[in-house]
Amino acid sequence: LVAFAGELSILTGGTSGGYYPVGIKLQGGFKREIPEHSLKVVSTQATVENLNMIQQGSGILALAQGDILSEAWKGNPAAG
């Protein structure tokens, strides 16, 4: 994390979904463990957007649905 400057983004999903509260909890843990970094939780359209944003360098951590992540890892273009 030392290589990153500025605010670090945790990419979740919609605020009404299950991943957003997980992102909030992760943010709290990271703030305790690495207080020198500023972290924010970013509400997204979920896994596909999260993976695209990570690939573009727009986040430090992305929550993802396992089956979509697995297909993306295999190179399946339908997963993204």
Q: What is the pLDDT of residues 27-65, one digit of tens each?
A: 999 999 989 889 999 999 999 899 899 989 999 999 999
SS3 label, residue 60: coil
Whole-number pLDDT of residue 12: 96
Whole-number pLDDT of residue 72: 83
The secondary structure of residue 17, as a DSSP letter, is S
Q: Which residue has the tokens 């009404």?
A: 16
pTM given for the model = 0.83
How far, in Å, CA of 46 to CA of 80, rounded? 11
Residue 2 confidence (pLDDT) above 70: no
Provide the token pair at 33: 């463990």
Whole-number pLDDT of residue 3: 47
Residue 5 confidence (pLDDT) above 60: no
How far, in Å, CA of 19 to CA of 35, rounded? 23
How far, in Å, CA of 14 to CA of 19, rounded? 8
